[in-house]
Amino acid sequence: MKKKLKLFKPVKKTRVYEEIVAKIKDMIDKGRFKSGDQLPVERELAEVFRVSRSSVREAIRSLESQGLLESRQGNGTYIAKHPVESLVNPLASVICSEKDGQRELFEMRRLIEPQLAWLAAERATDEEIQVMEKTLALQEREITRGGSGTEIDRNFHYLLAGAARNRFLLHIVDNNMSLFLESRDNFLQVEGRPEKSIQRHRELLDAIKARDPEGAAAAMREHLIDIENSLFEMMGRKSRVQ
Amino acid sequence: MKKKLKLFKPVKKTRVYEEIVAKIKDMIDKGRFKSGDQLPVERELAEVFRVSRSSVREAIRSLESQGLLESRQGNGTYIAKHPVESLVNPLASVICSEKDGQRELFEMRRLIEPQLAWLAAERATDEEIQVMEKTLALQEREITRGGSGTEIDRNFHYLLAGAARNRFLLHIVDNNMSLFLESRDNFLQVEGRPEKSIQRHRELLDAIKARDPEGAAAAMREHLIDIENSLFEMMGRKSRVQ
DNA sequence: ACAAACTGATGGTCTGACCAAAATATAGTG
DNA sequence: CACTATATTTTGGTCAGACCATCAGTTTGT
């Protein structure tokens, strides 16, 4: 008898902070708060929900981590403006340290990034293109000075992904950006490659400016092939890329 | 002079809980803790890191939300066993409730899913194909009985994504699966469509069995077109899909 | 041997004090 | 009046400690 009852696990009790998370999410879903809106302050939320401020804070930590909220000390807590930017991908680096991880990463990149370039060529505003132009000029200057231009590369990639007007794709880029930049850094270790990297970006941007999606996608493909080839050289592996 | 200095914002100070998050992640990255391992208890972490227990808890809330940790009251805090499965994508449903969200979602699906089908046709083992066959038969049976077959559809999609042998792509599917299933459910609301859906899956699986990547990708594309067309009909919008 | 009760450990919640950063209000000066 | 400096208030951030709820292991009673 007792044995049988043990098969029915009691329903897991919801924690206070989980309930608060759910309530705040509900408010967002219902349109009560929009991107950029300020949430009531912690002390007020604690009163309204009749819980301790600690529980409110734990809920906020959770939502922050999910990219939904942003807390600013002395200022308040806001619905994230660009939720995508704060979301973290702990898995990706784990996968890349494994045997086939790099193959998988490049397989995904070959799928996603030329498409982003294609969409950007179709959709970028003139203003966006100008910002890309400036960013590329900045990068050229930094590389001339012997720097890697990595931070600027990050910016360039985000600009590109943003211009594509697809938040799902942007999200994928954001989740894996540090891996993208890592393999780029490896690429740059050989002389002449920083310049080549800039050349590829230049080709890419020229195609976007010309509103040539096919040209943009092709430039991105070439760029990825360069990086991938260099990685597999470094790893002493026979490259599988034509 | 003062005006000029304001252009240089001070570097953002790292919060204690963020530092703890980073340290715990570092330990996981370094292999100090593996999936399923127990972390030191909160009180001990607070001592080791020389911070208050509250700060430790806030860090744990953050890592829980990222799917890396699981806390069990009266028991301890563990490294999550299946991080992929517990990772939440709160953004996707928010995006889809917005004006262009569905367009963006299908744009991504049209990119990802035919590729998954392609890779699965190349890489699926015979065993995997058999399981897919069984799953499809199960789904046919359920649909014959008047059910939606949604849970089985989920399984089918995971099988497909798994057979593609790319964890990054699998992760993308996992993050957005509930949205995929939602639009499928909408599709099924019109008579005759469940059968059509099965037909598409059948075409897809036949192509995979025949090791025909192009056929598989084409079948998936047709399937998505069906779903997308139905969605835009429901939304009273002129479909942009040929 | 088994069941019930107890104990200790762990996460969960609360309270309140104080700190740090930012915003706002007030006072002083030209 | 406009601007600057200072003081005050507000908000998030951290801490400490008390207590509660759950769980697992140990002890006691039948």
Task: Quick: pLDDT tens for B141-151.
Answer: 877 777 666 76
3-state secondary structure of B205: helix
Least-confidence region, from A42-51, A131-140, B169-178, B188-197: B188-197
Q: Are residues B28 and B128 in the same domain?
A: no
Nearest partner of B174 among A119, B166, B218, judged by Cα: B166
Domain membership of residue B8 (yes or no) is: no
Yes or no: say if B210 and B198 are a contact pair by the CB < 8 Å rule.
Answer: no
Q: Are residues B75 and B163 in the same domain?
A: no
Q: Are residues B20 and B63 in the same domain?
A: yes
Least-confidence region, from A14-23, A34-43, A160-169, A185-194: A185-194
Mean of all residue pLDDT scores within chain A: 79
Q: Are residues A148 and A207 in the same domain?
A: yes
Q: Identify the pLDDT of residue A176.
A: 76
Q: Are residues A188 and A218 in the same domain?
A: yes
Yes or no: say if B85 and B174 are a contact pair by the CB < 8 Å rule.
Answer: yes
Chain B 145-174, CB below 8 Å of chain A: which residues?
165-169, 171-172
| CA terminus-to-terminus distance, chain B | 61
Residue located via tokens 């262009």: B100
Q: Are residues B95 and B76 in the same domain?
A: no
Q: What is the ipTM of this complex?
A: 0.55
Q: To probe the interface with A, which of B14, B33, B61 has the most A CB atoms within 10 Å? A: B61
Q: Which of A86, A116, A140 is the last residue of a domain?
A: A86
Domain membership of residue B242 (yes or no) is: no
Residues 6+ apart with CB under 8 A from A191: none
Mean pLDDT of all residues in B70-99: 67
Residues 6+ apart with CB under 8 A from A237: none
Q: Identify the pLDDT of residue B8.
A: 39
CA–chain centroid gap for A234, Å, is: 26
Q: Are residues B191 and B113 in the same domain?
A: yes
Q: Please count the residues of chain A.
A: 242
Q: Identify the pLDDT of residue B91.
A: 58
Q: Are residues A77 and A116 in the same domain?
A: no
A120 contact residues in B (CB cutoff 8 A): none
Distances (CA, A) of A101 to A94, A222, A241, B19: 8, 21, 16, 28
Tens digit of pLDDT for each residue in A47-90? 999 999 999 999 999 999 887 898 988 889 998 875 443 344 54
DSSP state of A125: -
User: What pLDDT band is residue A179 in, cutting at 50, 70 and 90?
Assistant: confident
Least-confidence region, from A199-203, A233-237, B177-181: A233-237
Tens digit of pLDDT for each residue in A27-39? 887 778 888 889 9
Whether the CB of A145 is less than 7 Å away from nucleic strand C comes out as no
| pLDDT over 80 at A174, yes or no | no
Q: Are residues A81 and A94 in the same domain?
A: no
Q: In which domain, by residue range, is A198 found?
A: 90-234
Q: Which residue would you say has higher pLDDT here, A125 or B116? A: B116
Task: Report the CATH number at residue B54.
Answer: 1.10.10.10
Q: Which residue from B minimizes the CA distance to A83?
A: B91
Domain membership of residue B11 (yes or no) is: no
Q: Identify the pLDDT of residue B241.
A: 44
DSSP state of B79: E
User: How far, in Å, CA of A101 to CA of B177, rounded?
Assistant: 23
User: How far, in Å, CA of B200 to CA of B195, rounded?
Assistant: 9
Q: Which residues pair with A69 in a beta bridge?
A: A79
| pLDDT over 60 at B86, yes or no | no
Q: Is residue A95 within 8 angstroms of chain B, CB to CB?
A: yes
Yes or no: say if A21 and A63 are a contact pair by the CB < 8 Å rule.
Answer: yes
Q: Are residues B148 and B113 in the same domain?
A: yes
Task: Report the CATH number at residue B152.
Answer: 1.20.120.530
Mean pLDDT of all residues in B86-95: 52
Q: Per the CB < 8 Å rule, is B165 touching A104?
A: yes
- Full-model pTM: 0.59
Mean pLDDT of all residues in A112-140: 88
Could you count the other beta carbons within 10 Å of the beta carbon of residue B3? 6
DSSP state of A86: G
Domain membership of residue A108 (yes or no) is: yes
